[in-house]
Amino acid sequence: MSRLSHSEIILHAALNDLQRNWAATAEGWHDAARAEFEAVHLRELFLTAKVAADAMGEISRLLEQAVRECN
């Protein structure tokens, strides 16, 4: 099992912060503009970030494999 790279850790932490802070806005902001902002901007951002994190993980695994094979 491969460990998370520094970039993956930063990305995960940033996304967790964003999700937590976005959830906090629901306490005082429940109109159509909030729902639209989430639908138009945040959902796509979270999906794209997941793809990026998955790609970083794959690159990390491939680099670890290359290092093992070169030793």
| Alpha carbon distance 41, 52 (integer Å) | 16
Per the domain annotation, does 50 fall within a domain?
yes
Number of domains, the chain: 1
Residue 1 resides in a domain: no
Structure-block tokens of residue 64: 């670890």
pLDDT by residue (tens digit) across 51-65? 998 899 899 889 999
What's the CA gap between 28 and 48, in Å, rounded? 27
> Does 45 map to a domain?
yes
* Residues 16-37 pLDDT 10s: 999 999 999 999 998 999 999 9
Is 61 contained in some domain? yes
Domain that holds residue 60: 6-70
Full-model pTM: 0.73
